[in-house]
Amino acid sequence: MNHDSGFEKFLTTLCCVVLALVLAALLMVSHIQQRKTTRELEAKATQAMMQDGNNTYETTVVSGSSSADSSASSATSNGTDASSASSTSASTSAASSVSSDSAADTKNAKTAYTAISIRGDSYMEDDADRANGYPAKLQALLQAAGSGMTVEDDTWDMAGTLSQMSLAGIDQQTVQNYISKHTQNGLTDSYDTIVRADLSQYLKDRDDQSYLPVLTMGYHGGWGNDLDELVEQEKAVLATYENGDKDYLVLGSYPSGWTDHTAYDTAMTQAFGNHYISLNSTVTASMMSEDGRQQIAQTIFNKLKEFNYIS
């Protein structure tokens, strides 16, 4: 009888463990699905706002961007440097080497590159067909234009900036410093406090340091709701490229729940000048949709032509 009782206890314990694991998995799936649903709803709301020609938000973004570009052009014509947005921390010496004088006159000829490296949000599922991603669509646009430029797709969905930095090879102590800071500030969102557990599946030896960097980091968080920190993290990734201090593009889209759009665009424009593009002002469809990703590709293509980056 004692033997039977012990076996029953073992079975009961095993069942409890299995149920606990199933519950944890369901909670994780629910969290991920909730974030995806929020992102899609916000994208649809943004699309509706942009279709309203009298929408105050759209007018503010466009006028703010035009003003920043005008100021940058004036500064260049007078032989002066555009003001730099001050960094709140020097987490890496490489990051500080990225110049904030990014509003140089785009009419001047730039270096023509043979390859582009795109890092950041993919706006599609990780297991989706990469042929439908905006990097692949950009590749098609370049080929149609007769360019031999190649596009390397290093985008990653549902990944905050901490995970994106880790994927780019930023040392883990720097990443951990951000995590510690966020934890001390009481942040609990997983994007601000952890690196994706499946990093090793996507991590690879880099050979793109000589490519033209295009960043789309930030939508999922990871920067503690601190715009200065977001700029700092983006500059750290740019600094891993040979010419990331002067040749690059930075694309931004407002994170879920972020309401001060003007502050976001102002911070990005001050840091990156007209190398910064607000996707919310150029993409009218949901960025998770086929049309949205096509518009993202077209936005990048147009900027490449503007800067004479296309070889």
Q: What is the pLDDT of residue 85?
A: 37
Give a yes or no: residue 187 inside a domain: yes
Give a yes or no: residue 172 inside a domain: yes
- Mean pLDDT across 130-140: 96
For residue 70, is pLDDT > 50?
no
Range of the domain at 273: 57-306
Q: What is the pLDDT of residue 158?
A: 86
Lowest mean per-residue pLDDT among 96-110, 185-199, 238-252, 262-276? 96-110
- Mean pLDDT across 187-202: 93
Q: What is the pLDDT of residue 177?
A: 97
CATH number of the domain encompassing residue 93: 3.40.50.1110
Task: Write the CB contacts of 201 (distance below 8 Å, at least 6 apart in sequence).
Answer: none
For residue 10, is pLDDT > 50?
yes
Give a yes or no: residue 201 inside a domain: yes
Q: What is the pLDDT of residue 21?
A: 61
Q: Which residue has the higher pLDDT, 105 or 215?
A: 215
Dist. CA 154–CA 119, nearest whole Å: 5
Tell me the pLDDT of the chain averaged across its residues: 78
32 pLDDT tier (thresholds 50, 70, 90): low
Q: What is the pLDDT of residue 165?
A: 97
Which sign does the torsion angle of CA 111, 114, 116, 117 carry? Answer: negative
Give a yes or no: residue 39 inside a domain: no
Dist. CA 112–CA 130, nearest whole Å: 26
The DSSP bridge pattern shows strands 115-120 and 212-216 to be: parallel
Q: Looking at the 3D structure of the chain, how many domains does it have?
A: 1
Q: Which residue has the higher pLDDT, 164 or 91?
A: 164
Q: What is the pLDDT of residue 55?
A: 41
Q: Which residue has the higher pLDDT, 125 or 295?
A: 295
Give a yes or no: residue 9 inside a domain: no
- Mean pLDDT across 280-297: 96
For residue 25, is pLDDT > 70?
no
Give a yes or no: residue 14 inside a domain: no
Spatial strand order of the sheet with 249-252 comes to: 150-155, 115-120, 212-216, 249-252, 276-278
Q: What is the pLDDT of residue 128?
A: 84
For the chain, give the longest Cα–Cα distance.
95
39 pLDDT tier (thresholds 50, 70, 90): low
Give a yes or no: residue 3 inside a domain: no
Q: What is the pLDDT of residue 96?
A: 44
Give a yes or no: residue 276 inside a domain: yes
For residue 41, is pLDDT > 70?
no
Q: What are phi and psi of 304, to 5 degrees?
A: -60, -40
Which sign does the torsion angle of CA 155, 159, 163, 164 carry? Answer: positive
- Mean pLDDT across 286-303: 96
